Amino acid sequence: MRPTAEDFMIFDKAATDISIHTLETVTLAALHSLFSPQTGNIGQLIGLAARLAIDLGAVDKPNNNSNERNKIEQIYKSIYCLENQYATALDRPGLLPPPMIDPESSTPQDFLCAVYRIQACFRSQRGNVDVTSLIQELDGYVSTIEKMPIRSRHNVIAAVYETRLLIRSDDEQSAICLLEIYSQKFYIRTALGPSWAYRAGLAVVSKISTHQSHPGTIKNHDLHKSYQAYVNCLLFLEQCSRRWPSANALRASLQEAASRP
């Protein structure tokens, strides 16, 4: 994605005005590009926001508890989540250290940071990480997340199942749960959602294919859930394609995978 005129204005401001206001502006622009990728270069915007946050001391050991310091830390958490979403989508390591999180915190933002820290750990140590312990840590979050207000929890619980799917690409149960969440009213869709739906769809198609090759290996009830998840995935991708046309290609690819003998 080539920088837009608005991007150049933001980059120029960031070079001349290193302030919380500029950090907020750049972070909001990066967040907006998650919904409208054509309006800005999300990778550059996230990188710029990260540099500003670091310049403003976001990753330094806190020596005070001022409102300004707290504000920078909260913005940094958003940047950390954005960077990890983007890094996972591109299958590359994240660059930012995780923010400090109060272990007693139950805010959606802190849970997202914890989940994306697990994603970052898996990406950076793939092949040398204890997968079971990561899954157990994720599972430990679920019961608490499910107690959050309904408007807050859908995207957080979706991040948990996305992470499980990242760790185990054939985890059909997580794929089914993820696709169910994507169909919920209060789930907030972003341009990265279709790629996750496609991953989930492939896990479901693989399970259906196993049944077709070896009838009787899957209970009818479970098979019905798999077919329903596949339908949910196609519908989600079709709906997303109205806003993000690239979802059409993912939908076609998934249908092709499902049609293979």
Q: Which pLDDT band holds residue 233 (cuts at 50, 70, 90)? A: very high
- 222 phi/psi in degrees, rounded to 5: -65, -35
Joined tokens for residue 28: 């909001």
Task: Say if CB 40 and CB 21 are below 8 A apart.
Answer: no
Q: What gap in Å lies between CA 137 and CA 114, rounded to an integer?
A: 10
Q: What average pLDDT does range 142-158 have in this prediction? A: 88
| Structure confidence by residue, pLDDT tens digits, 44-68 | 888 888 888 888 877 765 556 678 8
Sketch the domain layout of the chain as residue ranges: 1-88, 101-168, 170-261
Q: What is the pTM of this model?
A: 0.88
What is the per-residue DSSP string for 94-141? --SPPPP--TT---HHHHHHHHHHHHHHHHHTTTSS-HHHHHHHHHHH
Window from 8-12, 38-42, 119-123, 131-135 with minimum mean pLDDT: 8-12
**Helix, strand, coil shares of the chain as percentages rounded to 5?**
70, 0, 30
